[in-house]
Structure 1
């Protein structure tokens, strides 16, 4: 058996004293490491937040395209988690020299520069002196949003009444219709509080838009349009668009098949009309001609040279 050691045992008090001494000795080192990690994380967050922003497809020119511009701009900023800098939900820190203050200034400057570059030069001159991106956004919205603008609502209503498909494809026609509908809803909103009233108004609006869509179609869709009207129940807008798009595909394939069949028929008629006067030539058959004189107008059996210049067969 192993002998029991006679070394004195370490008491719990002595062990606690040793741990306290080690904690005091290495606390400064632990604090420095923790501070460095926090600083690195903050810098990474800043770099991620001020990632380069793509420009919106629509440039702000005035009240006519503000709705489209604002939708594109806000969508891009939301994708980068920067919408708070235009909506005012990210407040400016009181201490500008702090890390939070520096971060806010850098990000606000990025969003502000991006906003100025997404509008025409004439509009940019009006707001280029404003330092806060949220103030620029608020001013542009108040000036160009046009909510309740009766002139714009009237203009859009006239465009809807005059719009027809013409030579557009179904997709192009529907895209233009939906753009005008969306703008009209924005400039001439309907305010309702009753849930049932809102539901009834939505159904009424959709029926009206289905009729607008069908009535503006090209005459080539007359049969399909009459079938939809005569079904007894007006389809939804999505169903009507799907039915007309399918009809467009059918008509396109039918036209392509008719064109191909017409080419085949003309080719056959041409070959039938010229078959008695011309001999087919090809790699397999070769050109038919007289082996004696080389003329393609007759064969060797009827060659005048062998027949004596027109005299009877066998005469010199």
Structure 2
């Protein structure tokens, strides 16, 4: 690699080990005990770990030692010692950023590029089972009892890992002019926004409808910002949701709520089968109390015992109980029974008419009376009205 010479073309070149823009340059603060990322590699977090390590190596200008762009020079090369020193420094950084179990498996690999390739081959391959698992978690993820920020973070973690398994673009052009990568990125972002809105609680239905009605649909960051603003507004107002319970007024409440101490719907009359009373307090059978009808209703005898109810009376229990009492307490005879009863009465009347009753003796205190049968038919009796 040619070294830059800021002193001019005729001046002596700067050695790569002293040039801050060269990958062979080591800062005085660089030491083998340095850890590249705070979270070590445990296997399942390889995607996040690799991206964090790549960012740190790019900042330290040492990415060329792991991606293979700066291969190992020959031993007779004058930069061999500088490469070996920087390579061992990167190897120490990688080992410090890996768990002890995984580090033991790469302890005998001295090339940083070989270590990076080995870790990528072991942990970066997403099989079909892992893709299915990620897709299932994304589809079943909902907000639940979590706040909007936590729910969005969990969804973004799963979505980014799933997105990493998908192709970057579908472009097949030699020199891309269709802007396929940008369109594919926009589509993935819109899919994540849609999934975020689907998993929100029903209390955010109003802001969700407002976002879906916008054309074109806002970006994922804008959607999250709008929903988060809605949640903060509810926190300021002191309401966790827009769902409110309206308590009815006293006049709109049913009679059972206004007079819960007088009537109990759990009580059932054994005579009529209705609620709100028992057979021992059935007024139709036992009579109405003297104070009945004051404030609630009045008993009207002209209408056959009907009851004029007030507005808050619970139901037509009195009329129904009265009808039930009439229908159950009186047995209507059949036509045959009526004919037998008439025949029996006629027989008794005929027998009474044929048998004369003896007249009582007359006395001053007991005047004679006349036995006059008050039956229908001819009258055969002697009555001396004048004495």
Q: Is the 8 A contact 1:210 1:237 kept in 2?
A: yes
Q: Do the aligned partners of 2:35 and 2:94 also contact (CA within 8 Å) in 1?
A: no
Deviations 1:69-91 (A, max 9, x none): 10011111111000111112122
Does 2:184 match 1:238? no
Residue number in structure 1 paired with 2:101: 122
Alignment: residue pair count: 218
Question: Given that residues 36 and 94 in structure 2 are in contact (C-alpha distance below 8 angstroms), is that contact kept between their aligned partners in structure 1?
Answer: no
- State whether structure 2 residue 62 is matched by structure 1 residue 79: no
Deviation at 1:239, TM superposition (A): 2.6
Whether contact under 8 Å (2:169, 2:180) holds in the other structure is: no
1:149-298 matched pairs, under 5 angstroms:
149-189=127-167, 191-193=169-171, 195=178, 201-231=184-214, 234-255=217-238
Query: Can you list the C-alpha shifts for 1:130-187, whole angstroms capped at 9, x where unaligned?
Result: 110110001111111114x211111111110111122333222222222211111112
Provide closer, same or farther for how the CA distance between residues 200 and 100 of structure 1 changes in structure 2, counting only shifts above 3 A.
closer
Number of the residue aligned with 1:135:
114
Cα gap change, 1:177/1:125 in structure 2, threshold over 3 Å: closer, same or farther?
same
Determine the C-alpha separation between the residues in 1 that align with 2:119 and 2:215: 48
Question: Scaled by the length of structure 1, what TM-score is found?
Answer: 0.61
Distance 2:235 2:49 in 1: 36
1:182 aligned counterpart, secondary structure: helix
RMSD, aligned CA? 2.8
Question: 1:95–1:101: 8 Å Cα contact kept in structure 2?
Answer: yes
Say yes or no: does 1:59 pair with 2:40.
yes
Matched, 1:144 2:134: no
CA separation of 1:49 and 1:111: change in aligned 2, threshold 3 A: farther
Distance change >3 Å, CA 202–CA 191, structure 1 → 2: closer
Over 3 Å counting, the alpha-carbon distance change for 1:165 and 1:38 in structure 2 is same
CA contact (8 A) 2:57 2:63 kept: yes
Q: TM-score, normalised by structure 2?
A: 0.50
SS in 2 for 1:71: helix
Change (3 A) 1:233 1:78: closer
Write the mapping of 1:105-120 to structure 2, written as runs, cut at 5 A.
105-120=84-99
In 2, Cα distance between equivalents of 1:198 and 1:77: 26
Distance 1:112 1:233, change over 3 A: closer
Q: Is 1:55–1:118's contact at 8 Å kept on the other side of the alignment?
A: yes
Match of 2:83 among 94, 104, 109: 104
Contact between 2:36 and 2:97, CA under 8 Å: does it hold in 1? Answer: yes
CA contact (8 A) 2:26 2:86 kept: no
Distance 1:189 1:49, change over 3 A: farther
Distance 1:165 1:57, change over 3 A: farther
More RCO (CA 8 Å, sep 6+): 1
Q: Unaligned stretches of 5+ in structure 2?
A: 1-10, 173-177, 240-387
Secondary structure of 1:93 counterpart: coil
Cα 1:209/1:38, change in 2 over 3 Å: closer
CA contact (8 A) 2:35 2:97 kept: no
